[in-house]
Chain A
Amino acid sequence: MTGNDDGTAGQEESVSFAVTGEYRAADRRASWKARWGIGRMKMRIKPGLYALGSPDPDSPVFASANYRLSFDALRTSVKGDAWLLVLDTKGINVWCAAGKGTFGTMELTRSIMESGLGDLLSRKEIIVPQLGAPGVAAHRVKAYTGFSVIYGPVRAEDIPSFMAAGKKAAPEMRRVRFGFADRMALSPIELVNFGKYLLPAAALLYFFGFRADAMLTAATLLSSTLLVPALLPWLPGRAFAIKSAAAGAIGLAAAYPFLSQDLFHACARALVYLPVASFIGLQFTGSSTYTSLSGVMKEMRAALPVQGVSLAAGLAMVLLRRFI
């Protein structure tokens, strides 16, 4: 089957490894694990040239990252015989690797040269996922290798229609989406990242008798990692720091009725927990598909000091009440 994980499978003696377009239970498990951040190191595919079905000199060539999920999406979406050229992106998906430049002009050039594709094909042409474009300069690849780069659709599932239309992508296939399902897929990673600190913290607070704070800590974790992606389009503002503080406020509002706190304590807690939610929610800028570096820099310059001051003020209020 695939040359996966440890790179054992595949036929080493031929120029290319053989793969099928089947999606199996093991592939589904790998996808689930990746989402929760388990064993990401094992998500590598051996770089090189793969034969999907029985390709000939007229079959299309598709480039991919050596991240298992990118590769699986490609090999299961291409219907028909094809060559798959897997670049060494250190196990990182196409888009992230393109941002870093590991999925890029040089690696693509190197892979094309090493694969011997030039002699295998009747026409020098390679289909590169559009999300790889930030790292690839098509005209340079052409100059270095003689291969024309054709940018394929954003989503592998659109490959059949792209091929049927004579390797042309409709405008809709060229746009990234960021729908509900896309956003929720980002949630588990943040839940794990911050849960590993905040859940033990909540347990400790509970253990030492601060039951209200244990509950508010948990509410903050859930609202900033689940509500932020779920409600993103409807949360107020454009800045993630503000959207996330709003999500945090929803979490606190939901928890407050269960706690018997006076106004002073309620305000102090808001000053403590809202900046935490705001900070955690800011992390979604990284996986969101529409945030720019200039924008993130701008909002962080404004948000981090406010978050810090708010947190300090809230903690001071809590302590003040305790000792006076």
Chain B
Amino acid sequence: MSLKYLKGVATLKLDEAKCIGCGMCVQVCPHAVLEMSGRKARITDVDMCMECGACAGNCPVEALSLKKGVGCAAAVITGLIKGTEPACGCGEGGDCC
């Protein structure tokens, strides 16, 4: 069973016109959100996206865009308190986020 997070919030967008079909995004996505359909990438289920940014960062032609971040309540709270973007407060820890 695969767990799904909130519906309709993930910010991932694919500009198919830019895509050159290299398949890099399909390789790096840990949730199989992307697949190849013919010579272009395609978003399967955007609600599975955790906004890790791996796909966009590894796309050589910037066909993918999203608001990258770590889905972490503690980070959001730290961000609110400090008035910054969500910041992982785990510092030097190991299994923090």
Contacts and interface: CB of A to CB of B under 8 A. Distances in A.
Given A92-B94, A290-B3, A294-B11, A282 B27 contact: no
Given A176-B30, A295-B71, 20 more contacts: A40-B92, A67-B94, A92-B90, A92-B92, A92-B93, A133-B54, A134-B68, A151-B28, A174-B30, A175-B32, A238-B5, A285-B72, A286-B74, A286-B88, A289-B30, A292-B51, A293-B70, A294-B10, A295-B5, A300-B76
Given A131-B30, A137-B57, A294-B51, A100 B88 contact: yes
B96 interface: yes
Nearest to A179: B1
Interface residues of B, number: 47
Interface in A177-200: 178, 185-186, 189
Q: Which of A93, A134, A232, A282: most chain B CB closer than 10 A?
A: A134
Interface string A145-185: 00000010010000000000000010100111010000001
B87 to A, nearest CB: 9
A296 to B, nearest CB: 4
Interface string A28-55: 0000001101001101000000000000
B50 A291 contact: yes
A98 B52 CA distance: 9
Nearest to A70: B94
A186 B9 contact: no
B71 A34 contact: no
